[in-house]
Structure 1
Amino acid sequence: MRFLGLDPGLRITGWGVIEAQDNRLQHVADGVVRSDERLSLAERLVQLHDGVRAIIAEFDPLEAAVEETFVNRNPASTLKLGQARGVVLLAPALCGLPVAEYQPSVVKKAVVGTGAAAKEQVGMMIRMLLPGATLETPDAADALAIAVCHAHNRAGSLALALARVRGRR
């Protein structure tokens, strides 16, 4: 099954695509969608939307996962991040993909083993888990980590559902 992980940001949105089969994960692609800071906010949001839609069209994931927003000290930055996150949630949903959301600490715990891991630790573990990952920026590493987290959580949810069904027989 193919998953798309998205790490939303107004300037740079990281993305990563993985293939999950049983408990094996394989890197497919990763990168970033950038918006032009010289454009209006609305035009930048269109760039993010179009970039995410292009990734979905090219790599054909079955599901997407997005990192939840944390609160900054700067309210204006938080608002802009929220708007970018809304577009990043909307684009896969408009393509008919189920979209899951994960807190940063849950993603870090799934990949590194601790919810307080540093960005460098996440990047290092992604390189180990997904050989061939290009990791153009830490945002791409985070996006792959989100995809890995989703693959693990989804596999656990499916196993639980299957156990429940078998228990009813």
Structure 2
Amino acid sequence: MTIRVLGIDPGLTRCGVGVVDVRPDRRATLVEVTVIRTPADMPLEKRLLAVGAGIDALLDEHRPEVVAIERVFAQHNLRTVMGVAQVSGVALHSAARRGLPVALHTPSEVKAAITGYGSADKRQVQAMVARILGLAEAPKPADAADALAIAICHAWRGSPMADTPRGPGSEPASAQTPAQAAWRAAERSARASAVPRRLAR
């Protein structure tokens, strides 16, 4: 069954929002991508209200099954991290009001899921998002591509389809993106390395 995920890259000046449909074979299709913007000279409470209204409108229009948000992590700029945390709270509230489940993913989780490498840079993530979704070029600005990456990450790693058993022929190599192939290889490697430790006990 196809799952629709709304991904959010929280930010006060630019809040990226991306919606994707992902099939059981992990093929992803772009539904919507946008950036909600608020001016720096607007009072904080009105900026949060504007971001919340934008998220509300997208949730009501696209009706996702789940919302995925980038997890707040420590930054040197306290003002920036505070803004991200505040917008994350607004997004969590919007989802909760609609009874939608919410998942939080760290930047390294998203990078690993999309590129197969947890320390990938933004350019690599943007390029892979474009390739996964079959786009001629990466969505801009980076906040838009990041929101789509968060949504795809959740569909691949955090949704029920991530646990769906797959037979030897259920997902041919030709149907996998490079990121999917890398992730599959990492999963196989992790399982293989865990076996000797269990047998050694």
TM-score, reference length from structure 1 = 0.88
Tell me if 1:156 matches 2:162.
Answer: yes
Equivalent position of 1:109 in the other structure: 112
**What is the 5 A alignment of 1:127-146?**
127-132=130-135, 135-146=139-150
1:72 and 2:75 equivalent? yes
Q: Secondary structure at the match of 1:16?
A: strand
- The alpha-carbon deviation at position 158 of structure 1 amounts to 4.9
Deviant stretches of 4+, over 4 Å: none
Residue 93 of structure 2: aligned partner: 90
Distance 1:71 1:137, change over 3 A: same
Larger radius of gyration: 2
> CA, structure 1 residues 134+95, in 2 after alignment: closer, same or farther (shift >3 Å)?
farther
SS at match of 1:4: strand
Question: Matched residues in 2 for 1:158 and 1:43: separation?
Answer: 43
Residue identity in the other structure for 2:143: D
Does 2:133 align with 1:126? Answer: no
Q: Distance in 1 between matches of 2:56 and 2:8?
A: 12
Give 3-state SS (helix, strand or coil) of 2:81's partner.
helix
Q: Return the offset for 1:69.
A: 0.9
Q: Measure, in 2, the Cα distance between the counterparts of 1:92 and 1:43.
A: 19
Aligned to 2:17: 15
DSSP-derived class of the 1:22 partner:
coil
Structure-1 residue corresponding to 2:35: 32
Q: C-alpha distance in 1, partners of 2:50/2:163?
A: 34
**CA distance in 2 between partners of 1:100 and 1:147 (Å):** 10
**CA contact under 8 A between 1:31 and 1:137: conserved in structure 2?**
no
Q: What displacement does 1:134 show?
A: 6.4
> For 1:4 and 1:65, how far apart are their aligned partners in 2?
6
Corresponding residue number in structure 1 for 2:6? 4
Question: Unaligned stretches of 5+ in structure 1?
Answer: 161-169
After TM superposition, the score normalised by the length of structure 2 is: 0.75
2:64 partner amino acid: P
Q: Which has the higher contact order (CA 8 A, sep 6+)?
A: 1
In 2: Cα distance, 1:143 partner to 1:77 partner? 17
Tell me if the contact between 1:30 and 1:134 (Cα under 8 Å) persists in the aligned partners.
no
Q: Is the 8 A contact 2:126 2:138 kept in 1?
A: no
Instruction: Using the TM superposition, give the Cα deviation of residue 50 of structure 1 relative to its aligned residue in structure 2, in angstroms.
Output: 0.4
Distance in 2 separating the partners of 1:111 and 1:69? 19
